[in-house]
């Protein structure tokens, strides 16, 4: 007779793979109830995390991917965010089965979900002051993609990378809504510096950028950066830095 532990392992294996041997003493029709319950729960978590990707991939292929993921990927947490994150990390293994933009789109969708469910509080808006040290607010994510993931839908599926890199800023606003802003290379570089080296005044960040925009002097850079950071401060994207 199988030990209790062996019975458990056989049950788990069958749950993950319906082609695996039936656990001893388990009727097929009863086992099928468990198989469907566990798989449907997992598939629902994955579907809710990647709605755009779900709408693009044909339904039979999507279900087969979810089944393969459930069978192959060890899952150590029942929390829906952890399951969808595991799916995101697993997707590169089957990238050849998906559109070229699928991995970037999946990351973008997961970041939206992660920001929406983060327990941190949105940073309050404030009046930008060039004499204050700066930091990037916790509920922000800087991203760079080859594809315009924010535009992808059933109607728009790019077949080649964009001519230039796509810089996106995702953030959660004061109403707890996840938003995105498309940045240019210059504004993305500025925010990247603020993120990497918090606690500096805007003049320091602009001095670090100066060699890359030699055609602009420091006064012109400040004139260009001030309205941008004023807007970002009001949105709670950048915040006044304080030492902990």
Q: Which domains does the chain have, with CATH numbers?
A: 1-98 (no CATH), 120-244 (3.90.930.50)
**In Å, how far are 23, 110, 122, 125, 231 from 178, measured between CA atoms?**
46, 12, 11, 16, 17
Q: Does position 18 have pLDDT exceeding 90, yes or no?
A: no
Using a 10 angstrom Cβ sphere, with 0-12 exposed, 13-18 middle and 19 or more buried, the burial of residue 237 is buried
Per-residue model confidence as pLDDT tens digits over 115-150: 999 999 988 899 999 999 999 999 999 999 999 999
pTM here is: 0.89
User: How far is the C-alpha of 179 from the C-alpha of 171, rounded, in Å?
Assistant: 5
Per-residue model confidence as pLDDT tens digits over 73-115: 887 777 889 999 999 999 999 999 999 999 999 999 999 999 9
């Amino acid at each position: 007779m199988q030990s209790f532990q062996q019975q458990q392992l056989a049950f788990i294996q069958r749950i993950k793979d319906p082609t695996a041997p039936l656990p001893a003493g388990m009727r097929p029709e009863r086992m099928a109830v468990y198989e469907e319950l566990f798989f449907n729960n997992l598939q629902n978590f994955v579907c809710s995390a990647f709605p755009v990707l779900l709408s693009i991939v044909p339904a039979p292929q999507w279900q087969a991917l979810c089944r393969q993921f459930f069978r192959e990927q060890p899952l150590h947490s029942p929390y829906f965010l952890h399951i969808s994150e595991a799916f995101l990390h697993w997707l590169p293994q089957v990238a050849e089965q998906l559109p070229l933009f699928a991995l970037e789109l999946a990351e973008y969708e997961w970041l939206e979900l992660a920001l929406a469910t983060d327990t941190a509080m949105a940073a309050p808006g404030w009046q930008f002051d060039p004499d204050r040290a700066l930091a990037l607010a916790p509920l922000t994510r800087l991203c760079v993609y080859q594809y315009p993931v924010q535009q992808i839908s059933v109607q728009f599926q790019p077949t080649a990378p964009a001519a230039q890199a796509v810089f996106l800023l995702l953030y959660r606003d004061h109403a707890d809504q996840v938003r995105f802003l498309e940045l240019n290379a210059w504004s993305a570089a500025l925010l990247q510096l603020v993120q990497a080296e918090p606690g500096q005044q805007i003049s320091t960040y602009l001095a670090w950028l100066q060699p890359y925009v030699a055609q602009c002097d420091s006064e012109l850079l400040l004139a260009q950066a001030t309205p941008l950071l004023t807007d970002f401060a009001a949105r709670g994207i950048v915040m006044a830095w304080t030492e902990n």
